[in-house]
Amino acid sequence: QVTLKESGPGMLQPSKTLSLTCSFSGFSLSTSGMVVSWIRQPSGKSLEWLAAIDWDGDKYYNPSLKSRLTVSKDTSNTQVFLKITSVDIADTATYYCARSPNDWYFDFWGPGTMVTVSS
């Protein structure tokens, strides 16, 4: 079955770089049309799509955050990574990774990893 799971530092200080990992199974990111995205949700707020990488290695970014984001994947196509530079308190959120099988809706999500930015 399809599963995704995020991992991250839990807490980090302002101005640092946040590194997140999405480990998945049950599907292949090398399958044509497959995309894995990062989405975040501050407590009590809506969802914000951040970035994505597709089966062909093409990368996509939220224009409002593009300068701070880097998405990548491993060569075995079982993990996707996200780096966010210069974090501040506003980056405190639960970060999800999610799969898009052929179009840009999200059919499977990981359980999320909570990240707190605090000094």
**Of 10 and 63, which CB lies nearer to other proteins in the complex structure?**
63
Give me the amino acid identity at 4: L
Task: Find the shortest distance in angstroms from Cβ 30 to other proteins.
Answer: 22
Cα within 13 Å of Cα(108), Cβ side: 18
Task: Find the shortest distance in angstroms from Cβ 19 to other proteins.
Answer: 22
| Locus of tokens 């593009």 | 66
**Of 49 and 81, which CB lies nearer to other proteins in the complex structure?**
49
d(CA 33, CA 111): 23
Task: Find the shortest distance in angstroms from Cβ 75 to other proteins.
Answer: 27
- Residues lying near other proteins in the complex (CB under 8 A) are found at 37, 46-49, 62-64, 96, 103-107, 109-112
Task: Find the shortest distance in angstroms from Cβ 109 to other proteins.
Answer: 5
d(CA 5, CA 114): 12
**Of 87 and 106, which CB lies nearer to other proteins in the complex structure?**
106
Give me the amino acid identity at 14: P
**Of 8 and 110, which CB lies nearer to other proteins in the complex structure?**
110
* 90 contact partners, CB below 8 Å, separation of at least 6: 42, 117
